[in-house]
Amino acid sequence: MDGVRTSLYLAAPGSKFWASGVSVPLPTAIARAAALGYDAIEIMPRAVDDPEPDKLRTLTAQHGLTIAGIASGFLAVEQGLSFTHPDPEIREEAVEAFHRCLEMAQRAGAATVSIGVVRGKLSHGLGHAQAMAHLLACVREVGRAAQARRLTLVLEPGNRYETDFLHTVEETIAFLEAVNLPNVRLMLDTFHMNIEEASIAAAVHQAGPRLEHVHFADSNRHAPGWGHLDFAAVAGALRAIGYRGGIGLEMMFEPDFDAAARQGIEFVRRLLG
């Protein structure tokens, strides 16, 4: 995995997203990411066009960075929308908002758009099977729209405390097979996997060629190396499956932004360089 590309995940200042919140202005965070040697950033916006995508594309390019992905989680975190809401009007609003997120990603020049917490939580009065049917219908619709825009969607297994749907690689692969779109692929996050998978390395092997992107964070959502995860085993599994994608650092910026961002990229370079 020589020359692995690294991206720094940034939740836009003012975002309600609890992880990766940036305490410095976004232009400052982008400049510091570039100075540390990151290749790209990933953005959790506060809203569609916040940050404004054309300006974001220009700003990252000025620092020699690309935009690895746009995170759609703000649709749930900021707007309360989800693909499994029992109200069909809310589901329709979520899909329409996701369409605007795709447009934003295309204008910004992003490579991917993620599907994480916009899956939602199971609501009272709605069975799990019916909720999964709603999820499948919504993902198929936005997946086709992304395909038309030549964008890749990445679906991330999430932990049980953030979503009631698709916790493991096995479950998510089965769902991807039902979606049956080549541009809807798998993303893994070691923080979630530490909660849900019996073996992170075995789950990476199971992901195999479906794997598009990987997020690194330690067991406590801090920078890798500042918790108890066995990243050597993760790296070994990624090498074994011939993974050639990027590594995104989605972590809490503690004790501060610069220390965490530096620890993240230096750890990945030592591990995978």
Q: Is 156 among the residues known to form the active site?
A: yes
Q: Which residues, 6+ apart, have CB-to-CB distance to 146 below 8 Å?
A: 102, 113, 152, 153, 183, 184
CB 186 within 8 A of CB 207: yes
- Output the CA torsion 54→57→58→62 (10° steps): 170
As given in the structure block, the two tokens for residue 196 are 């849900």
Given the residues 42, 156, 197, 212, the one annotated as active site: 156
State the helix-helix crossing angle for 128-148 and 88-108, rounded to 10 degrees: 30
Q: Is 170 among the residues known to form the active site?
A: no
Nearest to 100 by CA among 60, 150, 65, 53: 53
Helices (H) and strands (E) in the chain, counts: 10, 8
Containing 132, the helix (H) or strand (E) segment is helix 128-148
Given the residues 78, 197, 212, 250, the one annotated as active site: 250
Name the DSSP class of 119. Answer: G
Residue numbers annotated as active site: 156, 250
